[in-house]
């Protein structure tokens, strides 16, 4: 595979990159290539840095999912971006293609707990006091046949959150075999399309946008996704 990262923005404090589907965000026990190490190698080579390169991981994406991620190039930037994430000021907007009947706008509030045996997360009753609260907001963009294009805004960032919550609501994501999605060719139809944040040093509002690859899941919605790309710098799914 090509280990050259796709950089959307970089300065002395902030780096924003595109994660390709099926690439790890950071290393795990598999030892497979991961974006964090790729970016460190990129910085080390570009700026001829000796020793270890610092790069702070601010948020993650599930391995099958692609989209926009930000990283911190200094510890001060990492602390400030992490605070934005905790306070829901670092906003992550996704697009996905699902099946099922859902309302035009919706909010899902669930408790998610990890199942170690299956390496999945499951929605559990809140009274069990297991897992963590997961909140997302969504709206319908368009429908084609028995599939629907959704815009999703995360309020929390749990592992497998969008996939597990939509599956629990009986709206599984196309291509997401682990969570009940239809077994069709192509990647999972979930993509981190927009990232909004305040620059960790200057405070400037910044919006990063990257439409998904037009594979067999997203291709029927190319016009609608192009339309989102035109308006999303100013309008969020929940607005």
Q: Could you read off the pLDDT of 25-76 as tens digits, one per residue?
A: 998 888 899 999 999 999 999 999 888 999 999 999 999 999 999 999 999 9
Rounded Cα–Cα distance for residues 152 and 96 (Å): 8
CB-CB contact of 95 with 162 (8 Å):
no
Q: Which two tokens stand for residue 65?
A: 């999912």
More confident residue, 11 or 2: 11
Residue 65 vs residues 21, 23, 24, 176, 211: alpha-carbon distances, Å: 5, 8, 9, 10, 13
CB-CB contact of 89 with 98 (8 Å):
no
**pLDDT at residue number 226:** 96
Active site residues: 62
pLDDT band at 96 (very low <50, low <70, confident <90, very high): very high
**97: pLDDT strictly greater than 60:** yes
Closest CA to 154 of 116, 184, 112: 112
Sequence-separated (6 or more) residues with CB below 8 Å from residue 125: 111
Range from 82-91, 123-132, 140-149 carrying the lowest mean pLDDT? 123-132
Sequence-separated (6 or more) residues with CB below 8 Å from residue 230: none
**237: pLDDT strictly greater than 90:** no
Sequence-separated (6 or more) residues with CB below 8 Å from residue 200: 13, 14, 72, 76, 77, 78, 80, 81, 84
Rounded Cα–Cα distance for residues 207 and 197 (Å): 7
Per-domain boundaries in the chain = 6-231
Mean pLDDT across 98-106: 96
Per-residue pLDDT of 103-127, as tens digits, reads 999 999 999 999 888 889 999 998 8
> Into which CATH architecture does domain 6-231 fall?
2-Layer Sandwich (3.30)
Residue 158 vs residues 112, 135, 195: alpha-carbon distances, Å: 8, 9, 17
Q: What is the DSSP string of 145-214?
A: TTEEEEEEEESS--TTHHHHHHHHTT-PBTT-GGGT----SSS-SEEEEEEEEE-TTT--EEEEE-PPP-
**pLDDT at residue number 238:** 63
pLDDT band at 215 (very low <50, low <70, confident <90, very high): confident
Rounded Cα–Cα distance for residues 29 and 69 (Å): 22
**pLDDT at residue number 185:** 66
**pLDDT at residue number 118:** 86
Per-residue pLDDT of 134-191, as tens digits, reads 999 999 999 999 999 999 999 998 999 999 999 999 999 999 999 988 766 678 999 9
């Amino acid at each position: 595979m090509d280990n050259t990262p796709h950089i959307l923005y970089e300065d002395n404090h902030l780096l924003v990159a595109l994660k390709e589907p099926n690439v790890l965000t950071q290393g795990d026990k598999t030892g497979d290539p991961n974006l964090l190490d790729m970016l460190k190698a990129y910085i080390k080579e570009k700026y001829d840095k000796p020793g270890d390169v610092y790069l702070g991981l601010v948020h993650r994406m599930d391995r099958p999912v692609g989209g926009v991620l930000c990283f911190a190039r200094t510890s001060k930037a990492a602390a400030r971006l992490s605070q934005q994430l905790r306070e829901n000021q670092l906003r992550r907007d996704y697009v996905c293609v699902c099946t099922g009947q859902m309302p035009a706008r919706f909010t899902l509030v669930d408790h998610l707990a990890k199942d170690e045996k299956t390496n999945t997360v499951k929605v559990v009753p809140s009274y069990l006091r297991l897992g963590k609260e997961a909140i997302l907001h969504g709206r319908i963009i368009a429908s084609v046949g028995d599939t629907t294009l959704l815009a999703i805004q995360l309020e929390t960032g749990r592992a497998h959150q969008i996939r597990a919550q939509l599956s629990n609501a009986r709206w599984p994501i196309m291509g997401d075999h682990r969570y009940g999605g239809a077994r069709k060719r192509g990647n999972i139809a979930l993509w981190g399309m927009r990232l909004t944040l305040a620059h960790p040093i200057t405070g400037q509002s910044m919006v990063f946008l990257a439409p998904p690859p037009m594979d067999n899941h997203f291709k029927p919605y190319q016009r609608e996704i192009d339309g989102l790309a035109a308006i999303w710098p100013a309008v969020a799914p929940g607005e």
